[in-house]
Amino acid sequence: MKGRILIVDDERAIGLAVQRLLGGRGYDAETAVSAEEALEKFGRSAYHLVITDLTLPKQSGMDLLRAIRESSPETAVIMITAHGSERAAVEAMKLGAADYLPKPFDNDELELIVDRALEGIALRRDFRLLQEKVTDAYRFERMIGQSPAMQRVFDVIRKVADTDLTVLIRGPSGTGKELVANALHYNGPRRAKPLVKVNCAAFSRELVESELFGHEKGAFTGAIGTREGKFEVADGGTLFLDEIGDMPLETQAKILRVLQEREFERVGGNRTLRVDVRVLAATNQDLESRVKAGTFREDLYYRLNVVGVALPSLRERPEDLPLLIEHFLATTTARLGREPKALAPAAYRALLAHEWKGNVRELEHAIEQAVVLASATEIGLEDLPPAVRSAAPEESGERPGSFRDAKQQMIERFERQFIGEALERHQGNISHAAEELGMYRQHLQTKLAEYGIDAELYRRRGEKHER
C-alpha cells in the first residue's frame, strides 16, 4: 500500500466515491462521516493522511485539523473547501494543513494533491532519519579515547555543546578538530540547522570574503550573479572556521564585526544583513605568538577563545593507540565491503612503535592502505606504508606465544619508553611529567611501580647534567 488515508465527509456517497478512487490507485482508504467518528478511528489506528471537508456537523473540519495537529503532528491534512471559502483555506494552512482542495474538483487534481502531501511526509521522515543517523554518528560515546587527556576534552565538549558559546579548537594537524566541531553542533540545540564548514587557508583574501559574506553581481571580475555567503547559509545553525590562523588581517576585522554585531554586507553590496550563527573555529597554530607578531588581531583572538578545547597529539595519548587501531580496522573493512582482517604481530608492533606525526589522520590512512593491499585475511608488515614499516622494532630471539602476548609486550615497551622520556624532560618530577602525559599523578605512580621505574634516577641525572 502507498499509504493509509482517512476521508471525512458528512455526505457518505462522496466519501465512498473518493475511497473507491484512491483505493483503485493503491491507497488504503477509509471513511468517516463526522469529526467525532474520525477522532474515534484515530484512537484505534494511525493514518498518514486525512482528507476532510471544511463543513461538518457539530465539530468542523477546522476543529478536526486542530485535534489532529495536536495528537498526531506527523499526519498530513488536506482541507476540502467550498467555493468562496478562500479565507478559510488560508486559515487552515496557517494551522498546519498540508494543502486545500476547492470544490468542485476532478479526480486528477485530487490524486495530484494526495501524492504531493504523502511525498512531503516521506521527505520529512527521511530527513528526520538522516538527522538521527548523523546525530548518532557524532554522539560523544562514539569518539575514541580512554586516556585522561581525551576524557578532559570530552568533558569540555559535553559542558559547552548545548550552549551558543564560541569555541576555539586547537591541536596539531590530524588530531580530529573537525570531529569536535561535528560533536559540538550535532549534540547542541542547533542540530536541526546547517553546519557549514569553511577552510580559511584554502582561499585568497578576496575569495575568502566572498566565500564567507557572499557577493553582489558585478562586485568583481567573474561575479556574474548574486551569491549567498556561508554566514547566510549557516543562519540559525553553526559556522565552522577551520585554519582560522591563516585568515588575512582585513578579513579578521570583518569576522570580528559579525561576532560582535551579528551583521555584515556582501562583497560589493551596501545592504546590511543580520544572521544568528554560532561560530566554532580551529587552528593548529600558536595564535598567541601570531598576536604578538601582529598577524592576528588580539580582539578577535579573545572573541574566538571564549571556550578553548585543546586536542592532544597521538603521541600524548599512547594508551588510546590500540583502541584507535581496532576501531579503524573494523570501520574500514566494513566501509570498503572487505572481509574482516587481523593484524600480524609484526604489523601491530610497527603500528604501536611509529611516531604518528600526522596523528589520528595518518593512522587512519595507514590502516586504509593496509586493508586494501592485504591479499590475505591477515595484514602483514609489508602491507603498511614504508614509513610505518621502518618503525618496526627488531625481532628478538624469543617470540611471543600469541597475538595477545605480542600486543601486550609492545604496549608495555611503548609505555616504558614514553614515560621515561617525559621523566627525562622534567628531571624526575612526577607531577610535571603526569601533566604533560595527560595522566593523573596517581595513575603515573601506578605505572612507575608496575614497570619498576625509579623517578629519583631521572632527578639525579638531571641535577648531574646541570652541574
pLDDT, position 443:
82
Query: Could you give phi then psi for residue 237, rounded to 5 degrees?
Result: -115, -140
Nine-digit cell string for 228: 549567498
Q: What domains sit in the chain, N to C, each tagged with a CATH number?
A: 4-132 (3.40.50.2300), 140-312 (3.40.50.300), 316-425+438-451 (1.10.8.60)
- pLDDT (tens digit per residue) in 33-58: 999 999 988 878 888 999 999 889 88
E strands, 243-386, in order: 263-265, 272-274, 278-283, 307-310, 342-343, 378-379
Q: In this structure, what is the dihedral angle of CA atoms 409, 415, 417, 423, given to the nearest 10 degrees?
A: -150
Beta bridge partners of 30: 6
Nine-digit cell string for 378: 591477515
pLDDT, position 415:
81
pLDDT, position 301:
96
Residues 57, 341: Cα–Cα separation, whole Å: 69
- In tens digits, what is the pLDDT along the chain, a chain of 467 residues? 467 899 999 889 988 999 999 988 888 899 999 999 999 888 788 889 999 998 898 898 899 999 988 888 888 999 888 766 777 888 888 888 888 888 888 888 888 889 888 888 877 776 666 655 555 555 555 578 888 889 999 999 999 999 999 999 999 999 999 999 999 998 889 988 989 999 998 887 778 888 899 888 877 777 777 888 899 999 999 999 999 999 989 899 999 999 999 999 988 888 899 999 999 999 999 999 999 999 999 999 999 999 999 999 998 888 888 889 988 988 899 889 888 888 888 888 899 889 999 999 999 999 999 999 998 888 999 999 999 988 777 655 445 556 666 667 777 777 877 888 888 888 889 888 888 888 888 788 888 877 778 787 777 666 655 55
Residues 309, 180: Cα–Cα separation, whole Å: 9
8 Å CB contact between 303 and 253 = no
Q: Which residue intervals of 55-106 are DSSP H helices?
A: 61-71, 86-94
Residues 459, 450: Cα–Cα separation, whole Å: 19
pLDDT, position 1:
41
Q: Is 183 exposed, middle or buried (0-12, 13-18, 19+ CB in 10 A)?
A: buried
pLDDT, position 137:
54
The SS3 call for residue 280 is: strand
pLDDT, position 375:
85
pLDDT, position 358:
94
| This model's pTM is above 0.85 | no
Residues 424, 284: Cα–Cα separation, whole Å: 26
Element (H, E) at 18: helix 12-24
Residues ≥6 apart with Cβ < 8 Å to 425? 433, 436
Query: Could you give phi then psi for residue 274, rounded to 5 degrees?
Result: -115, 140
- pLDDT (tens digit per residue) in 354-383: 999 999 999 999 999 999 999 888 899 999
pLDDT, position 131:
56
- pLDDT (tens digit per residue) in 452-462: 787 877 776 66
Residues 69, 7: Cα–Cα separation, whole Å: 16
Beta bridge partners of 79: 52, 100
8 Å CB contact between 458 and 419 = no
Cα of 250 vs its chain's centroid, Å: 30
Helix and strand totals (H; E) in the chain? 20, 16
What is the pairing mode between strands 167-170 and 278-283? parallel
Q: In this structure, what is the dihedral angle of CA atoms 314, 320, 325, 331, given to the nearest 10 degrees?
A: -100
pLDDT, position 397:
47
Residues 94, 407: Cα–Cα separation, whole Å: 64
